A and B are shown apart, each in its own frame.
Chain A
Amino acid sequence: MELILDIALLSLLLVTAVYIAWTRDLFAAVILAGIYGLLSASFFMSMGAVDVAFTEAAVGAGISPLLMLSTLAICGRAQRANPQRALLALLTVGVVGALLITATLEMPAFGSPDAPAHLHVAPRYIADSMREIGIPNVVTSVLASYRAFDTLGEVVVIFTAGLGVLSLLGLRGDVREEPIHSPMAEPSHLVLRVVGKVLIPPILLFALYVQFHGEYGPGGGFQAGVIFAVGFILYSLVFGLEAVEKIVNRALVQALAAVGVLIYGTVGLLGIVSGRNYLDYSGLAGDSVAGQHLGIIAIELGVGITVASVMMIVFFVFSAQLARGRAVPHAS
């Protein structure tokens, strides 16, 4: 049964991927990318990787198609044909793909218990996590404590991406000639407004649940940050960008993106202050398990703040750019 499900999901993934590469209509490609994200989330789910599936559903199927759609709204949906570059790209992809497939030939069989990944540190994490960290979700204890330094790197990557978008598009945003008017912000969209108002508070509440429940079930800062940002993005889609700017101070969000990384790094430094290694939380509280709890909650909060702020920054900068483009006469 599981095999049939895997085969069905994987062949759908393959078809979607090929069609994304094939189609010239970028709008269709973006929607298909969302479907691809949802399919991979289901596939991860069937493999039992609930946390990864959750992230993929929130990021791959949720916010990244949204950001790509706003990019398309700026750039246009038609792909320009360029046969020479296409040939070059095909050649590169072919060579890299062949190398990757050759590499997989030497990999251990799927799910093999003798695979190096399952013999190196994983048994120790699984055996000792409950005693050392004391939280039920081993994924969170690996992500936030054993491998906290890797996660710090991921957060910095997200922060840097936000900085990149800001430096490319955002710095001109302060000079605004006329108020931004989103076409969605018309009073006629009554149904969307009512449903948006009903749905946004539960979305934010759910984000907080995911944030603070990450130790016990699937979830954590990354997913929660994305869901939290989606609440605000939905508000701006339905009520317009200027409505959301009344609630969300742009400078504050930009500062919060840095504050999240800062919280993470500071918790790491507190580990040194308490006489242990960087990002070792054991000394933060009286006994080491309580210290681990405290440290994990603090760094997950930092991750959530940074991810939510960066997502909001990227979306708002894109929308502002779109609105500037629209100030030039443009039927829509």
Chain B
Amino acid sequence: MTIEAREAPLPGLGDAEIVFDVQAFSAYYGAFRALKEITFQIREHQITAIIGPSGCGKSTLLRGFNRMNDLVQSAHSEGHILYHGVDLYAPQVDPVEVRRRIGMVFQKPNPFPKSIYDNVAFGPRVAGYKGDMDERVEQSLRRAAIWDEVKDKLTTPGTALSGGQQQRLCIARAIAVEPDVILMDEPCSALDPVATLRIEELMHELKQNYTIVIVTHNMQQAARASDVTAFLTMGDDRAGYLVEMDTTDKIFTRPEHRLTEDYITGRFG
């Protein structure tokens, strides 16, 4: 059986090219089902926010996009995630190649305990980049809006930076391999409001070149920073499922579902 990307675009989500086509994706940890038949699409050069209560599987879904769940021994999945029409879970797909194209920024800033330069250069190096590394590092740091703060101390350890700077360094590190998509798993949860705002502004600039998927606990962040919002919640079996997905504007002003409305207005979760 061949899998084909569905034709009809979801209403209100524009007609940009589909980057991820999630088809009845379920994820398990051992016998526990964390995600139940998620189906939705993510489009190019948009910021898609995934929101929902704790434990509903937001992070599991996000980590499904770059096969990060492969690292958990008990994890397995059903259904498909098509990336530009190719099933990421097809047997011949190499997760290392997947992660080179689909970068990730984590909840807690996790720079390597190496120089700022080496933090950024590591990705291109392992990808076999043969060009001018200095230029690639500078360009990545510039795009991550941290160049001016670190250009005079590229040899100091990345771990010596402040939390907000560390997170921007991690974004620079993700950008340096020139991915197509950047996944962000609650990237601001460890940051103060000023650093958070900087990251949000940065995301806005980055979406010109990248497709961004962000998991967030912060309603205001989703409302401020994203174009499209997907709301997940979990049923009695604690398996997360998609309640609705629409433009962020519509989700936050005229949600279709009662559950969504309760969640965004703080009556739930």
* Mutual binders A and B: no
Which residues of B come within 8 Å of A, CB atoms? none
Which residues of A come within 8 Å of B, CB atoms? none
